[in-house]
């Protein structure tokens, strides 16, 4: 008579279901691979919803004509600074909250979360006031024509005036992720963008009882949707069953805690600015080869950024695991979590890179039928995909540093790899050495790979383990 021994480990499908529903797993004790999946899956789904919204919103606004699209594009370029501040504060808040949760101090985590939210309210009020007051001047500063300014001032005022809502949406979702509630962050964004997608066309075109607001309707729908998302976040933050619950005792200004968050966030803001600015410079270099090259590069980069969404989810999971396990006094487990996430990320990007190499012309052809543009986009996808295997580890290690509260190291790596290495190399390959647009693509692949090797080497040295947060 034989005895069948059943595995105590949940199946992959059970783990995936738990990840989507929300898990109360202790991430300082769970098997590393399972912990990465539980955190990464909702983060990936959250980011995919954001991308779907951007595509849908652009689709409806595009029906209003080129001036309307220009309004949205120029206003989004102004919002980049708001996003940079939001992401920087989000990284600081997530790192501190994750460390306190790992230390098994949920009250301290809730107190830190409130300090971050309070600071976000102040910053949001300042940016919102400036945006509403100077919206037409800011549009002109960005090169908008008189027609675009006339059509877009209302939209810009609504979007910039609601920048405090954007900031809180980023910030509180980061608090949820730091606490290990990635599924809540996913639901918040799905809820907010669901309302956004529903209201957008109704307000743009004036369907039924809704007023026809044109491009302004897109801004109103977006701001209402995001505002509902923030209300949803605040509801969860005060629920008795929440992993991180803010109560009256956690409220009040605590300057030392706020300063600690800002020390991490300030460098993280510059880190995000480096990445954004380097892409802008590459586009400027590409512009010297004509509109077809710029269009091909734009298509290629958008496809690449969409394909990187799963990797952003895995990398964010690594940041949470590193922070919580450092707080629990388990630095070796933090390191193991980062290496495991890096391996998963490399598998994912390896498959995506192979798809790009094999099917690049087909993917580019979905967005344009211009053969010259397709050619540039195809080369972009194939050349940049060559660095994907390496970049999988680079993304995870960079976020692992951030999760540990060490934002200085990845900022310096970004500065060296993307400003001091990628940009000069792109110029040299494209112009003096005669590679043309392909030279820019080659520089991106080389910089991605360099970034990965440097990040992995510095992470392996382990100095981040002693970072105090």
Are residues 359 and 412 located together in one domain of the fold? Answer: yes
Are residues 174 and 285 located together in one domain of the fold? Answer: no
Position 17 in a domain:
no
| pLDDT, position 26 | 84
Position 211 in a domain:
yes
Position 284 in a domain:
yes
Are residues 191 and 288 located together in one domain of the fold? Answer: no
Tens-place pLDDT, residues 48-79? 777 776 667 767 877 787 777 778 777 877 88
Distance CA 154, CA 217 (A): 10
| pLDDT, position 5 | 42
Are residues 130 and 34 located together in one domain of the fold? Answer: yes
| pLDDT, position 9 | 63
Structural domains counted in the chain: 2
Do residues 22 and 183 lie in contact, with contact meaning Cβ atoms separated by under 8 Å?
yes
Domain boundary among 253, 281, 315: 253
Are residues 297 and 446 located together in one domain of the fold? Answer: yes
Question: Residue 410 region, left (φ>0) first, then alpha (ψ -120 to 50), else beta?
Answer: alpha
Domain boundary among 253, 288, 304: 253
3-state SS track over 271-319: HHHHHHHHHHHHHHHHHCCCHHHHHHHHHHHHHHHHHCHHHHHHHHHHH
- SS3 state of residue 6: coil
Output the CA–CA distances (angstroms, integers) from residue 14 to 8, 9, 22, 27, in the order listed.
12, 10, 12, 17
pTM of the model: 0.84
Position 303 in a domain:
yes
Do residues 447 and 424 lie in contact, with contact meaning Cβ atoms separated by under 8 Å?
no
Are residues 120 and 51 located together in one domain of the fold? Answer: yes
Domain boundary among 224, 253, 282: 253
Tens-place pLDDT, residues 130-151? 999 999 998 888 777 888 888 8
Provide CB contacts within 8 A for 368, sequence distance 6+. 295, 299, 374, 377
Are residues 299 and 435 located together in one domain of the fold? Answer: yes
| pLDDT, position 24 | 76
Position 48 in a domain:
yes
Are residues 203 and 273 located together in one domain of the fold? Answer: no
DSSP states along 54-79 = HHHHHHHHHTT-HHHHHHHHHHHHHH
Tens-place pLDDT, residues 341-379? 999 999 888 888 899 889 999 988 887 788 888 898 899
If you search the block for the tokens 């310096």, which residue do you land on?
A: 412
Distance CA 204, CA 210 (A): 9
Position 5 in a domain:
no
Position 373 in a domain:
yes
Distance CA 176, CA 363 (A): 35
Provide CB contacts within 8 A for 469, sequence distance 6+. 95, 96, 99, 260, 264, 323, 326, 404, 405
Distance CA 61, CA 59 (A): 6
Are residues 71 and 199 located together in one domain of the fold? Answer: yes
If you search the block for the tokens 């040299």, which residue do you land on?
A: 428
Are residues 249 and 277 located together in one domain of the fold? Answer: no
Length of the chain: 469
Tens-place pLDDT, residues 432-443? 999 999 999 999
Are residues 87 and 150 located together in one domain of the fold? Answer: yes
What domain range is 33 assigned to? 27-253
| pLDDT, position 403 | 93
Can you list the residues of the chain whose pLDDT is less than 70?
Answer: 1-9, 53-55, 58
Distance CA 94, CA 308 (A): 21
Are residues 353 and 242 located together in one domain of the fold? Answer: no
């Amino acid at each position: 008579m034989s005895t069948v021994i059943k595995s105590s480990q949940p199946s992959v499908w059970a783990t995936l279901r738990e990840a989507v529903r929300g898990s109360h797993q202790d991430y300082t004790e769970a098997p590393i691979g399972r912990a990465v999946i539980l955190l990464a899956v909702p983060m990936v789904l959250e980011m995919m919803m954001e991308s779907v919204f951007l595509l849908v919103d652009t689709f409806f606004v595009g029906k209003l004509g080129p001036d309307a699209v220009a309004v949205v594009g120029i206003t989004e370029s102004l919002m980049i600074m708001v996003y940079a501040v939001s992401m920087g504060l989000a990284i600081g808040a997530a790192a501190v909250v994750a460390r306190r949760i790992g230390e098994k101090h949920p009250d301290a985590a809730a107190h830190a979360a409130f300090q971050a939210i309070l600071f976000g309210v102040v910053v949001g009020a300042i940016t919102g006031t400036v945006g509403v007051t100077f919206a037409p001047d800011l549009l002109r500063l960005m090169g908008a024509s008189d027609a675009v300014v006339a059509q877009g001032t209302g939209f810009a005022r609504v979007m910039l005036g609601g920048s405090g809502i954007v900031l809180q949406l980023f910030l509180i979702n980061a608090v949820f992720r730091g606490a290990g509630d990635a599924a809540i962050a996913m639901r918040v964004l799905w809820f907010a963008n669901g309302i956004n997608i529903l209201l957008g066309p109704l307000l743009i075109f004036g369907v039924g009882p809704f007023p026809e607001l044109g491009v302004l309707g897109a801004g109103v729908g977006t701001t209402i949707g995001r505002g509902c998302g923030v209300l949803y976040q605040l509801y969860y933050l005060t629920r008795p069953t929440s992993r991180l619950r803010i109560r009256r005792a956690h409220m009040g200004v605590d300057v030392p805690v706020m300063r600690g968050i800002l020390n991490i966030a300030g460098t993280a803001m510059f880190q995000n600015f480096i990445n954004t600015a380097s892409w802008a410079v590459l586009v400027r270099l590409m512009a010297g080869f004509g509109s077809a090259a710029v269009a091909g590069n734009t298509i290629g980069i958008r496809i690449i950024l969409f394909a990187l969404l799963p990797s952003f989810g895995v990398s964010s999971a690594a940041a949470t695991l590193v922070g919580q396990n450092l707080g629990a006094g388990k630095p070796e487990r933090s390191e193991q979590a980062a290496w495991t996430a890096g391996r998963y990320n490399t598998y994912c990007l390896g498959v995506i890179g192979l798809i790009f190499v094999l099917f690049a012309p087909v993917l580019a052809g979905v967005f344009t039928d211009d053969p010259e543009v397709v050619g540039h986009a195809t080369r972009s996808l194939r050349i940049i995909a060559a660095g994907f295997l390496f970049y999988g580890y680079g993304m995870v290690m960079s976020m692992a540093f951030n999760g540990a509260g060490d934002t200085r190291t990845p900022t310096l790596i970004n500065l060296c790899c993307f400003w001091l290495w990628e940009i000069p190399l792109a110029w040299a390959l494209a112009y003096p050495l005669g590679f043309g647009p392909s030279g820019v693509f080659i520089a991106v692949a080389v910089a991605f790979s360099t970034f990965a090797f440097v990040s992995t080497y510095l992470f392996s040295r382990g100095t981040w383990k002693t970072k105090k947060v």
